Amino acid sequence: MQNEPKNNSRMADGKINTSFFAKPTYINCSGRLFDLSKPAVAAILNLTPDSFYDGGKYTNEKQIIETINIFYESGAAIIDVGAYSSRPGAEHISEENEWLRLDKVLDIIRREVPQLIISVDTFRAEIARKAKEYYDVSIINDISGGEMDATMFETIAKLNLAYVLMHMQGTPQTMQLNPVYQSVTDEVIRYFHKKVFRLRQNGVNDIILDPGFGFGKNVEHNYELLDNLSKFRIFELPLMAGFSRKSMIQKVLKTTAAQSLNGTTVLNTVALQQGANILRVHDVKEAVEAIELVNMLKKK
């Protein structure tokens, strides 16, 4: 592929060419070609005590084994494991504590459900290195896009990992204080253009884009991004969308995270219609059903 993103997904009138969505999209996951031409589900496993929805939920091995088996049996292809809370204003923890949370759980997943593709949600290159070296994880999901660890891109290239490039304005501690954009869609596209170019220069071949819903965006920013999600297909890279039970649902519906499953499914459906390849969710069964129904609709 060229270093610069291509622009052949637009027709002469400037509209998105929807036939492009049918093209196969593959990422290399530890030597296994993973086809994302049919959208996939990434199940969220948070190991933090203070995550906004499931913080402190997974406290013993039995719970973890039961949960990851439910994820797999419900249709998840990826499990995204995080040990650093990225909720607004979250406490900053050390690299040592992050790895202590991850180490045992990655071993359980690799042992109990080896079929699952493991993604680790971290912005630290050393965590990425250990996760690959000890547990052969396939994907690193970096909320900071390489901004919080200058060695991340070269580490991803050296380890031949797939990389989720996410956009975030600020840090988890500051991102929701007062996010401001002239045009959130245009600014995120420009950010991806710059970052994808740098990743290619470093030799990273497998890149997934995540606009970062809820990360340094207010409610209006989030819905503008969702409404324009198809524009990100210009990069010809897989797209990941993560709305699961977030405040962008709660604030509109005047509800809570625990009551936001229906809203999550609605937004997942919209994202699929806009061309999302991966849904990152807490509730796997419902996301898989949304994929099946949208796929049936696209056959008509």
Distance in angstroms (rounded) separating the CA atoms of residues 195 and 182? 20
Q: Is 280 tagged catalytic?
A: yes
Among 128, 127, 121, residue whose Cα is nearest residue 142: 121
* Three-state SS letters, 47-103: CCCCCCCCCCCCCCHHHHHHHHHHHHHHCCCEEEEECCCCCCCCCCCCHHHHHHHHH
H or E element: which one contains 43?
strand 40-46
Q: Of 280, 285, 299, 300, which is the active-site residue?
A: 280
Secondary structure of residue 40 in the 3-state scheme: strand
Secondary structure of residue 239 in the 3-state scheme: strand
Distance in angstroms (rounded) separating the CA atoms of residues 232 and 276? 10
Q: Are 45 and 68 in contact (CB under 8 A)?
A: yes
State phi, psi for 280 to the nearest 5 degrees.
-100, 115
Alpha carbon distances (Å) from 61 to 34, 65, 104, 211, 214: 29, 6, 9, 33, 30
Q: Is 23 tagged catalytic?
A: no
Alpha carbon distances (Å) from 21 to 223, 230, 239, 297: 21, 9, 11, 14
Distance in angstroms (rounded) separating the CA atoms of residues 273 and 159? 33
Tokens 């900053």 belong to which residue? 92
Q: Of 124, 130, 200, 246, which is the active-site residue?
A: 246
Secondary structure of residue 2 in the 3-state scheme: coil
- 272-295 burial by CB neighbour count: b if 16+ within 10 A, else e? bebbbbbbbbbbbebbbbbbeebe
Catalytic residues: 246, 280
